[in-house]
Chain A
Amino acid sequence: MIKVVVSFFVLMVVISAGTVYSLKETTERLEARKNQLSAQILKDHAAIKVLRAEMAYLAQPERLQKLSARFLALAPVESGQMAGAINAIATREGATGKEDGQNMYKLVSFPVDEFPVLLPQSKPLNKKIHKPQNKRIKPQNKKIEAPSFYDRISLTIGDDE
Chain B
Amino acid sequence: MRSADLHIEGVKHEAIEVARNRLMVPAFLFVLGFGILVVRLVSIGIFEDISDQITHARPVTTEIVQERVDILDRNGVVLATNLSAPSLAVRPRLITEPEETADKIVAVLPDLNRTSVLNKLKSSHHFLYIKRNLTPKQVWRINALGYPGLILEQAEKRIYPQGNLASHVLGYVDVENRPQAGVEKFFNDHLSNTVRSNDPLYLSLDIRVQHIVRQELAFAMNKFSAIGGAGMVMDINSGEILAMTSLPDFDGNGSVQPASSEMKNRNILEPYEMGSGFKVFTIAMALDSGTVTLNDAFDATEPLKVGRRTINDDHAKERILNVPEIFTFSSNIGSSLIIREVGVEQQKNYLQKFGMFEKTVVELTGLSRPILPAHWGEIQSMTVSYGHGIAVTPLHLVTGISAMINGGRLIPATLIRKDTAPDNDYYPQVISSETSQKMRHLMRLAVEYGSGGRAHVKGYLVGGKTGTAEKVVNGKYSRQDKITSFVGAFPMDNPKYVVFAMLDEPKGIEETFYKATGGWVAAPVVGEIIKKIGPLLGVLPKEYIETKYHNLILVDAGK
List the interface of chain A (C-beta within 8 A of B): 6, 9, 12-13, 16, 19-20, 23, 27, 31, 34-35, 38-39, 42-43, 45-46, 49-50, 52-57, 59-62, 65, 76-82, 84, 112, 115-116, 149-150, 152-153, 155, 157
Contact = CB atoms under 8 A, between A and B. Distances in A.
A11 to B, nearest CB: 11
Of B38, B210, B460, the most chain A CB neighbours within 10 A belong to: B38
B532 to A, nearest CB: 6
Interface string B50-85: 100011001011111100001000011111011110
Contacts, number: 118
Contact of A82 (B30, B61, B62, B540): B540
Contacts of A116: 75-77
B541 A80 contact: yes
Contacts of B81: 49, 52-53, 56
A57 B65 contact: no
A53 B162 contact: no
B395 to A, nearest CB: 23
Contact of B65 (A31, A46, A149): A46
Contacts of A43: 62
Contacts of B58: 35
A155 B163 contact: yes
B29 interface: no
A49 B66 CA distance: 10
Nearest to A6: B27
Nearest to A115: B75
A52 B54 contact: no
A84 B491 CA distance: 14
A79 to B, nearest CB: 3
B458 A80 contact: yes
A60 B165 contact: yes
A52 B78 contact: yes
Given A79-B459, A79-B535, A82-B535, A39 B60 contact: yes
7 contacts: A53-B81, A56-B77, A59-B77, A78-B459, A116-B75, A153-B219, A155-B164
A60 B162 contact: yes
Of B60, B62, B457, B536, the most chain A CB neighbours within 10 A belong to: B62
Contacts of A35: 55, 58, 61
A19 B34 CA distance: 13
A65 B207 CA distance: 13
B353 interface: no
A55 B163 CA distance: 13
A153 B210 CA distance: 15
B60 A42 contact: yes
B15 to A, nearest CB: 18
A79 B458 contact: yes
Nearest to B210: A61
B459 A80 contact: yes
A77 B81 CA distance: 31
Contacts of B535: 76-79, 81-82
B218 interface: yes
Given A9-B34, A49-B81, A23 B45 contact: yes
B163 to A, nearest CB: 5
A60 B34 contact: no
B215 interface: yes
Contacts of A61: 165, 207-208, 210-212
A139 B532 CA distance: 22
Interface string B159-202: 10111110000000000000000000000000000000000000
Given A13-B34, A62-B211, A153-B219, A76 B78 contact: no
Nearest to A9: B31
Of B78, B210, B212, the most chain A CB neighbours within 10 A belong to: B78
A53 B31 CA distance: 65
Q: Which 4 residue pairs across A and B have the least CB separation, nearest first?
A: A79-B459, A61-B211, A79-B541, A56-B161
B222 interface: yes
A31 B531 contact: no
Contacts of B94: none
B215 A115 contact: no
Contact of A115 (B60, B77, B460): B77
A153 B218 contact: yes
Nearest to B206: A115
Nearest to A112: B536
Contacts of B251: 155
A60 B162 CA distance: 6
A29 to B, nearest CB: 13
A148 B536 CA distance: 24
A60 B161 contact: yes
A12 to B, nearest CB: 7
